[in-house]
Amino acid sequence: MKIKSISTKIFKSKLTTPFKTALRRVDNLEDIIVSIQCEDGSVGYGEGAPTPVITGETIGTMNEAISYLTPMIVGLSLVEDFDEIIKIIHSRLLHNTTAKSALEIALYDLKSQSYNKPLFEYLGGTQTKFETDITISLNEPDIMIKDCLIAISAGYNIVKIKLGENKQKDIDRVLAIYDALPRNVKLRLDANQGWSKDDSVEIMQTIEKHGIIAECIEQPIKSDDINGLLYIKERIMTPLLADEAVFSFNDAKRILELGAADCLNIKLAKCGGISNAIKIADLAIEYNVNCMIGCMLEGPIGIAAALHFASAKSNIISMIDLDAVALLKFQPLKTDIEFNGKNILLSKEAGIGISGEL
């Protein structure tokens, strides 16, 4: 299975409603799809969503990164040279984690096809059905309550509330949303680096005094303030989830050694793909720490790849934040994966499960 060519295509879709966080607003999904063709006719697909405010990448930089790496990979054997190809991707170009992830997803798609196994099985997983949360974008409280109730009526049991605008408004948002929701609905909170460490403690302690203990509070402060995470963790009861602070294995190791977070959010686009995601998850297992599997605004290829990976890691499968496909107005790509609201069912076909023409 020699690699014959690598090509890219832009994947576009409108979102059902604008996606708004403390960092950005997005109205339309625009991702890059990577196709890797082998001489035997087999094709592997990958995907990456540009997120300039997090990874620093755009459609343009991702295309350039993939074009730069392509001549180093074409001609190599997918089976015999797989580890070498992964090494090339990560050693010949710094950063560009989303572009690397898109390439890796396509490579793992092909590798599992070569074994005639679904990717989750090739990685050692067995679970095929997952329940995701749904993201509630940052808005005025009445709009967020309405969005929560719509999600609950559609069957969602876990809502992820975007925060990070200012201290009092965020407290008011959480209290109002909590009061409006059935008690069986789980809350996840995400401030997207929007608070200071002192405000984080004050906000969370205030919320907790009202009897609200969310499943987690995600990355409340700037990504480079690891000591600040520890400061917060030691002063609140709600589990603290590190997200933007965790790009690499070394990032994860530093946080775990310091005990600065209760759990880690792994995103393929942040860490550069499946190979590094496996290393981070395995490290977290050594520290008895659970992980969330998260996403950028990816389409079905990126989400499927993340789930295949999650299936193989016991410390991830209970925290799924892979709702991006549910946010799309339409899905212009046929797959063998079932996206049914909160439930996602992986295909048992070989590879990732992409069956449509791009």
Cα distances (angstroms) measured from residue 329 to each of 18, 28, 186, 296, 354: 11, 9, 25, 16, 19
Annotated active-site residue 267? The verdict is yes
What are the E-state strand segments in 213-307?
216-218, 240-242, 263-266, 290-293
123, 311 Cβ separation under 8 angstroms:
yes
162, 138 Cβ separation under 8 angstroms:
yes
Element (H, E) at 20: strand 3-20
* Residues 6+ positions from 160 with CB-CB distance below 8 Å: 133, 134, 135, 136, 188, 189, 190, 218, 321, 323
| Burial grade of 216 (CB within 10 A; 0-12, 13-18, 19 or more) | buried
Which pairing describes strands 43-48 and 25-38: parallel, antiparallel, or unpaired? antiparallel
> 197, 233, 267, 270: which one is catalytic?
267
| Closest C-alpha to 114, from 354, 353, 357, 351 | 351
> 162, 270, 313, 342: which one is catalytic?
162
Element (H, E) at 129: strand 129-131
| Closest C-alpha to 232, from 243, 245, 246, 217 | 217
What is the C-alpha separation between 35 and 102, in angstroms, rounded?
Answer: 9
Side chain identity at residue 11, one-letter code: F
User: Any idea which residues carry the catalytic annotation?
Assistant: 162, 267
